[in-house]
Amino acid sequence: METNPVIPKNIPCMECQVGVMRKRHLTYFTWLGDELVTVPNFPAWVCDVCGRREYDQQAEMWLHTLLKPEAGKTTMKSRKQRQKIQRPPLPPISDRKG
């Protein structure tokens, strides 16, 4: 059984200390190398007075995981690479010195 944390409806703004942070869905902008990446409908908390934005941490972590340069690349070495690393087979017992 999953338990969802209770999200308070009225979070005071730490910037202006007057407004209330409300959950909204905005377009998130970030740079990936030389490319500008935009993500529509990204969850954020926005102050209704000063406009301060705090992006949802869980969504931001998920996005950064997807945007990592290593994302989608295999971590296993190819078969050819593994064959180069393997030791040569041992000679038959009758050929061994000993």
Number of domains in the chain: 1
Asked whether residue 24 is domain-assigned, the answer is yes
Classify residue 23: in a domain, yes or no. yes
Task: Indicate the range of 15-19, 20-24, 72-76 predicted with least confidence.
Answer: 72-76
Instruction: Give a yes or no: residue 44 inside a domain.
Output: yes
Task: Look up the CATH number of the domain holding residue 44.
Answer: 3.10.20.860
Measured CA to CA, the distance from residue 83 to residue 39 in angstroms comes to 42
Range of the domain at 59: 7-71
Residue range 41-89, pLDDT digits in tens: 999 999 999 999 998 888 888 888 888 766 666 666 556 665 565 566 6
Model-level pTM greater than 0.75?
Answer: no
Residue corresponding to tokens 């997807």: 66
In the numeric block, the tokens 């992006």 are attached to 55
The answer to whether position 81 is within a domain reads no
